Amino acid sequence: MIRELLRDAMELAKVATKGKGSTTDMVRAVLLYDSFVVTATTRVRQLARRWRIPVVNRALRLAQTALYGIEIGKDVQLGHGVYFVHSVGTVIGGNAQIGDRVTLMGSNTVGTNKDDGYPVIEDDVVIGAGARILGPVRIGARSVIGANAVVREDVPPDSVAVGIPAKVVAKR
């Protein structure tokens, strides 16, 4: 658990400061970014479920929602260094998979579309404010999802997707 949290801090420091993840950047990420607290709380929730400790998962989930305005489902797989720039209004549901160093700008929804499956978001993706990613779609590594986009189809790696419904407009 400690190793995972250290890796989260290192990866978050890399993405949040656009640096090399120095020790100073790691300490800053742990002490100053709500994103680290949200991720650490999610890790503790996962541990409590694995060890079958009653009430802890629910209590921490309610605390996350009340304090940070974020809802992360119990079966979500959260990668290392996920950066919640603004956590308020963000919902990640079901068994969605979020890769390493994914940046969520705020008020995002990552969830199902008619109970038909959940998204897989690969590493180093940036998701703009208000974007919705719905259904069993795959967002390729290093892609950018524009603000307020509604993604219901796969996005290839290194792409930019915008609009409602989202369309790929460029390759990075």
User: Domain of 25: which CATH number?
Assistant: 2.160.10.10
In this prediction, residue 151 carries a pLDDT of 98
Return per-residue pLDDT of the chain as tens, 172 residues: 889 888 888 888 888 887 777 888 888 888 889 999 999 999 999 999 999 998 999 999 999 999 999 999 999 999 999 999 999 999 999 999 999 999 999 999 999 988 889 999 999 999 999 999 999 999 999 999 999 999 999 999 999 999 999 999 977 6
Domain residues for the domain of 154 are 2-171
> How many helices (H) does the chain have, and how many strands (E)?
4, 15
Alpha-carbon span 107 to 86, nearest angstrom: 8
In this prediction, residue 172 carries a pLDDT of 66
In this prediction, residue 22 carries a pLDDT of 80
Q: Domain tally for the chain?
A: 1
Q: Where are the alpha helices (DSSP H) in 88-147?
A: none
Query: Which are the contacts of 101, defined by CB distance < 8 A and separation ≥ 6?
Result: 11, 14, 15, 79, 80, 81, 82, 83, 123, 124
In this prediction, residue 24 carries a pLDDT of 85
In this prediction, residue 86 carries a pLDDT of 93
